[in-house]
A and B are shown apart, each in its own frame.
Chain A
């Protein structure tokens, strides 16, 4: 992804809403309205506000405030590999009974 020209990368980016299906698979619940806090700039907003870069082998979600990486997700046949070191806090809905 770093090899792409910045302008092209900017043109290709989407909102995290575009990967709502993947997030729901990985977390088991709807995620785009969930509050998440960026570890880099402290911006706190819904997951749906994150910028989604989906044209590489995984999905990279960046903060819409500082554009630093918040979450990376790679799917393999067996696992979702999640790197969330860019997120300070994430509030997950409890499953309804």
Chain B
């Protein structure tokens, strides 16, 4: 059967605050189909006068969860869609969505290569779907996440990432805080650069499959650094979110 890409009306089942600027919305889908970790949904809003606007948001949840998906959305002050989600939407509301979409930036737990995930800000969202999928599938291949945030309170899924790492010897989570760090901070304290990537990727070896997601300039500099460290372009999949302050167009 050819997969359809029809718009459907999802019902918001829950809203959870992740950070001061980021919320997760659980959507119940009448025509749910299993996604692959890394895919996204398009969301369409229609104003009373008929004006429509549309954005793509990465799926945060694992494909093993049936009937519903989590979308984690960063509030972009100048955006049209994310402020609506943050300020207006409450459980029980309905939104128009279509998906899952995208066959390129996807990872399946059956892949044998070591997994390297590199995220900036809300770029962690599709990578979290991969890590949740990896945990649900009980995959044991080596995996590492290098995640750049501005401050400790800006880290999305901080508690869950710590718990995932504590529960899985094969998973390493490495944070860098670029703007401010708490007093006892033991992680990195600068933007992602080649020496940092070298430290994180080295134990994975040159066969690692890399997924890099975040602001465009971060993604491009990290991908270029990985190539200099010996990975082939074909081993590096990227998802650019655009400028830092306009992630996913808002």
Contact = CB atoms under 8 A, between A and B. Distances in A.
B221 to A, nearest CB: 11
A14 B105 contact: no
A45 B238 CA distance: 13
A87 interface: no
Given A17-B105, A48-B103, 9 more contacts: A11-B242, A17-B40, A18-B239, A18-B240, A20-B40, A20-B103, A24-B101, A30-B103, A33-B103
Contacts of B233: 45, 49, 64
A30 B105 contact: no
Given A24-B5, A96-B2, A12 B104 contact: no
B216 A10 contact: yes
Given A10-B216, A21-B98, A30-B103, A15 B5 contact: no
Interface residues on B, range: 20 to 34
A12 B56 CA distance: 15
Given A25-B5, A30-B3, A17 B216 contact: no
Interface string A78-97: 00000000000000000110
A73 to B, nearest CB: 15
A11 B239 CA distance: 13
Interface residues on A, range: 20 to 34
Interface in A33-57: 33, 45-49, 54
Given A11-B243, A15-B240, A21 B5 contact: yes
Interface of B: 1-3, 5, 40, 42, 54, 56, 98-99, 101-105, 216-217, 220, 233-234, 237-243, 246, 249
Shortest beta-carbon contacts, A-B, top 6: A48-B104, A33-B103, A32-B104, A20-B102, A21-B42, A20-B101
A29 interface: yes
A15 B242 contact: no
Contacts of B105: 15, 17, 32, 48
A18 B2 contact: no
Contacts of A12: 216, 242-243, 246
A12 B250 CA distance: 13
28 contacts: A10-B216, A10-B217, A11-B216, A11-B217, A11-B242, A11-B243, A12-B246, A13-B216, A14-B241, A15-B104, A15-B240, A16-B104, A17-B239, A18-B56, A20-B40, A20-B56, A20-B101, A20-B104, A21-B5, A21-B56, A21-B98, A30-B3, A30-B101, A31-B103, A32-B104, A45-B234, A64-B233, A95-B2
A21 B101 contact: yes
- Which of A18, A24, A32, A95 has the most B CB atoms < 10 Å from its CB? A18
Contacts of B216: 10-14
A46 B240 contact: no
A20 B40 CA distance: 9
